[in-house]
Amino acid sequence: LPAFASLSMAGSGGKVQRYRLERHLNNVYDKGDIRARDLVIFRSGKLRSTGILVDIYRDRKRPLSFAIWLPALRKIRRHAEPDPADIWGGSIFTYGDIYLRRPEDENHTLLGKIRFPGCLGMLDPAPDGLEPSCEATGKEVYHLRSVNRSANWWYDYRDQYIDTTTFADYRAEYYRDGKLIKVIDKDWRSMELADPRAQYWRYWYGRDLRSGGEGLAWVKEGQVSWNDRVNRNLWSLATLRKLSR
């Protein structure tokens, strides 16, 4: 699933940082113990030429492995699976949001079905002519409450709103001490495959109500493709070493 995305983050002071990156996800890597590999390359901003290669193992309980190319040092650093609460790539999104949160990490309660109440969030002003997506408005969704099994986690529970047909998660609301502290909205698009669950995201919008920070990750129309024929050597440390400033 190759994709070319942009990230924008705005802090409470209004300063906006932007990054452009590309992502190549191989869900059928199937070599040795590795089931899938995910490659992310930053193409602009302070992280330009930084590369991240993630190994996803057949044993789903085995921690993910991360190799990061640091262009300033011209070296690869390997590190174990980070804390799911850590911030990914300087964004508003955590490793848990993107990679590491597993269904078994939380206890889940289905609270029922509702109609999704409105449009998804968006930065104001929106970059590159984007507009808030309202496609989910009025759709029937599952209202799911998830409580993390870890004690003293950064949130007490999160409420998710999930499409009853595609299982796309349109919104996650994070609560601590009874207060809403963070919201992540996701705009999904169909891949037009036989399985309606085959979806890709058009944008993610995140808002931290504690700091006032906001973040947006998005792809432009036509920048996402799937089932491409790609040389498997793309997902390698050699690719990371070729990156430069």
199/173 Cα distance (integer angstroms):
21
Amino acid making up residue 165 = T
The CA-based angle 53-160-206, given to 5 degrees, is 55
Cα separation, 141 vs 83, in Å, equals 30
User: Taking the alpha carbons of 130, 188, 180, 216 in that order, is the dihedral positive or negative?
Assistant: negative
CATH code (residue 184) = 2.50.20.10
Element (H, E) at 113: strand 106-115
Tell me what pLDDT residue 126 has: 87
Distance CA 199, CA 136 (A): 14
* Angle at 122 (CA atoms; ends 52, 160), nearest 5 degrees: 75
Query: Which two structure tokens, joined as six digits, stand for 117?
Result: 């109440």
146-155: per-residue pLDDT in tens? 999 988 899 9
Which segments of the chain have a pLDDT < 70?
A: 1-15, 245
d(CA 15, CA 25) in angstroms, rounded, equals 31
CA-based nearest residue to 25, from 11, 35, 16, 33? 35
Mind listing the pLDDT tens digit for each residue in 26-63? 988 888 999 999 999 998 888 889 999 999 999 988 99
Give the pLDDT score at 26. Answer: 92
Identify the domain containing residue 211 by its residue range: 2-241
pLDDT at residue number 237? 93
Give the total number of structural domains in the chain. 1
Q: What confidence score (pLDDT) does residue 31 get? A: 87
Confidence (pTM): 0.87
**Residue reference for tokens 């193992």:** 57
From first CA to last CA, the distance across the chain in angstroms is: 25
Q: Whole-angstrom Cα distance, residue 34 to residue 53?
A: 12
pLDDT given for residue 125 in this prediction: 86
Place of tokens 């085959």: 198
